[in-house]
Amino acid sequence: EEEEEEEEEEQKGQIIGRVCCDSSDRQELQLESSDGSRVKLELRSVENEYSLFPGQIVKCVGANPTGYCFVAKEIDCYYFKQIKQEQQQQIQKTEMLLFSGPFTANDDLMYEPLDDVLHEASSKNPSIVLLMGPFVSDENINHALTSNITYKQAFEQIVMKKVEAFAKQYPNKHVVLVPSVKDAFHRYCAFPQPPFFETSKCKNVHFVANPSAFEVNGIRVAVSTCDILKHLSGFERGGKGKTTTEQQQTDRMTRLCSHMVGQMSMYPLFPPHPDAKFESHDATVPLRVGMDERVPDLIVLTSDLAAGGWKNALSGNKTMFVNPGKVCRGVNAGTFCKISSSSGENFAESARLELHKL
């Protein structure tokens, strides 16, 4: 019996690798090591709650008695969470308005919803008005043709004209524009994207990349218009484990959001979803934006999934995730988010999120 116990202990171990799907069976998960070798990942004996998807780096504790199948007993799904120490930083009282396109109905180029967006921004006192693309998508092609106007002209002569008029009237309110791969006029329609190549005479109008990170009154903000939440939801395979109680379980949206911090990437899924229009070359550095210096206080994501806000399941709830919803859904008005925070060190604890209908 002692010899059997010793042999069992020798077979136990841990493995760090990337989660992969079997090419012939999507339900079968594998672990890929740094040398490219793969082993089947068996989940029936996992004791803790887990959430897995292709491209994820995990640490598994268990045994591989046959050499072909690793039977996991414990899985750390957020392997990178402790690699970088978070820095405490004093934040100031701040208000932000978050809007995600499209900013016009799909049957016209009138941009009346954009007028509503700027009216909301003028009636409140935000430090930042975040406008996330698309601004002119290929859904508007028929109306662009009948109006005898190009995509670029629609952006410059309609969208930017309205935005700059607002910026001139309210010089203390900063407008930040983030591109989308659905923006038909952008010269680079693959993810990750550089900022729009346009310039503005208004000093309070800013063009940033997709994804990107910036600071507002000490608050570290990361933003992306790629629908990583929807893409992850289609590939995620989760389980509560044998020892996790119902009270200890994490809700699905919180799990999906937390993977960005746990994997230190704004798009941790690999291979990427086709709708991401992912660039073929190595995009590791752009996707780590906002993660290397310190963990973001706020991560803003645009998604077709439910609008709302969630606190990070890691790092003591020091990151808030927000999906403001769409300004337009077809011909119907959508939603936006207002975030208010008080002075202090922990943004997620002091921040108040309000989801509004336009």
pLDDT of residue 4: 47
pLDDT for res 2: 39
In the predicted model, what is the mean pLDDT of residues 161-183?
A: 96
Determine the Cα–Cα distance for residues 119 and 107; give it in Å rounded to an integer. 22
Regarding predicted confidence, which is higher, 27 or 167?
167
Residue 197 has phi, psi (to 5 degrees) of -85, 0
What residue type is 53 in one-letter code?
A: F
The per-residue pLDDT for 34 is 85
Per-residue model confidence (pLDDT) at position 5: 43
First to last CA, the chain: 70
Say whether pLDDT at 14 is over 80: yes
The whole-number pLDDT of residue 283 equals 55
Place of tokens 């899985």: 75
Neighbours of 241 (CB within 10 A): 18
Strands in 229-329 per DSSP E: 237-239, 298-301, 308-311, 320-323, 328-329
Residue whose token pair is 């509004």: 356
**Choice between 64 and 316, residue whose per-residue pLDDT is larger:** 64
pLDDT band at 144 (very low <50, low <70, confident <90, very high): low
Cβ–Cβ < 8 Å for 206, 175: yes
* Largest pairwise CA distance in the chain: 84
How far apart CA 128 and CA 99 sit, in angstroms, is 11
Kind of pairing between the strands at 308-311 and 320-323: antiparallel
pLDDT digits (tens, 9 = 90+) for 203-256: 999 999 999 999 999 999 999 999 999 999 999 998 887 776 665 677 889 889
Q: Which residues contact 331 (CB under 8 A, 6 or more apart)?
A: 105, 106, 107
Distances (CA, A) of 127 to 202, 219, 349: 15, 12, 19
Asked whether the predicted pLDDT for residue 286 surpasses 80, the reply is no
In 3D space, the residue among 110, 126, 83, 77 whose CA is nearest the CA of residue 232 turns out to be 77
Q: What is the residue-averaged pLDDT of the chain?
A: 86
Q: What is the rounded CA–CA span in Å between residue 30 and residue 22?
A: 7
43 dihedral zone (left: phi>0; alpha: psi -120 to 50; beta): alpha
Helix or strand (DSSP H, E) at 16? strand 12-21
At residue 7, the pLDDT reads 44
Sequence-ordered list of residues with C-beta below 8 angstroms from that of 236, at least 6 positions apart, any chain: 51, 52, 53, 252, 255, 256
CA atoms within a 13 Å half-sphere pointing along the CA-CB vector of 170: 19
Where do runs of H (alpha helix) occur along 291-356? Answer: 347-350
46-99: pLDDT as tens digits: 999 899 999 999 999 999 888 889 999 999 998 876 544 455 667 889 999 999
198 pLDDT tier (thresholds 50, 70, 90): confident
CA distances from 302 to 11, 101, 327, 335, 354 (A): 45, 9, 11, 12, 16
Q: Which of 87, 94, 89, 88 is nearest to 342 (CA)?
A: 94
Band (124; pLDDT cuts 50, 70, 90): very high
State residue 1's pLDDT score. 44
pLDDT of residue 141: 63
Task: List the one residue out of 144, 173, 172, 145 whose CA is nearest residue 159.
Answer: 144
Give residue 346's pLDDT: 77
Residue 241 Ramachandran class (φ > 0 left, ψ -120 to 50 alpha, else beta) = left
Q: Do the Cβ atoms of 254 and 311 come closer than 8 Å?
A: yes
Confidence of residue 21 (pLDDT cuts 50, 70, 90): confident
pLDDT at 280 over 70: no
pTM higher than the cut 0.85: yes
Alpha-carbon distance of 178 to 100, in angstroms, equals 9
C-alpha 270, offset from chain centre: 15
